[in-house]
């Protein structure tokens, strides 16, 4: 009886260890996903005319918060076509990005 219990307990414990480990994304992958999430957020807003205004995320600095997600500072290039000229500027934006990279909340 105890032999079968040990075998089953060892098997269950091995399964728990095997399936509980999650791959942690590396730094380049996280940066790429953060840039992509912010780019989608900026270029797909309903109140911005995307035929005249384009955003390009250049760099990202981030801190991973265990509860909230990623606290980020993005360097963003904005190009806006006005009737008489093209405005090309670079600025910084702060945002909170969720762990699954689907929700972006801009900070003021």
Provide φ and ψ at 104, rounded to 5°: -120, 130
- Please count the CA atoms within 13 angstroms of the CA of 78 that sit on its side-chain side: 17
> What is the structure's pLDDT at 1?
59
Query: What's the length of the chain?
Result: 108
Q: Does 13 reside within a domain?
A: no
- How far apart are the C-alpha atoms of 29 and 26, rounded to whole Å? 5
Counted domains in the chain: 1
Residue 60's domain spans which residues?
24-107
> What is the structure's pLDDT at 102?
92
> What is the structure's pLDDT at 35?
95
> What is the structure's pLDDT at 87?
92
User: In the chain, which stretches have pLDDT less than 70?
Assistant: 1, 15, 18-19, 21-22
Q: Does 59 reside within a domain?
A: yes
- How far apart are the C-alpha atoms of 23 and 30, rounded to whole Å? 12
Q: Does 32 reside within a domain?
A: yes
CB 77 within 8 Å of CB 58: yes
Q: Does 7 reside within a domain?
A: no
Q: pTM to 2 decimals?
A: 0.75
């Amino acid at each position: 009886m105890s032999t079968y219990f040990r075998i089953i307990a060892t098997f269950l414990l091995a399964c728990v260890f095997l399936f509980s480990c999650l791959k942690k994304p590396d730094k380049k992958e996280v940066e790429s996903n953060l840039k992509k999430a912010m780019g989608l957020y900026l270029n797909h807003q309903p109140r911005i005319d995307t035929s005249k205004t384009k955003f390009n995320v250049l760099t990202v600095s981030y801190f991973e918060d265990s509860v909230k997600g990623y606290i980020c500072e993005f360097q963003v290039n904005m190009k806006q076509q006005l009737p008489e000229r093209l405005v090309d500027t670079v600025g910084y934006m702060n945002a909170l990005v969720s762990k699954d990279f689907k929700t972006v909340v801009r900070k003021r």
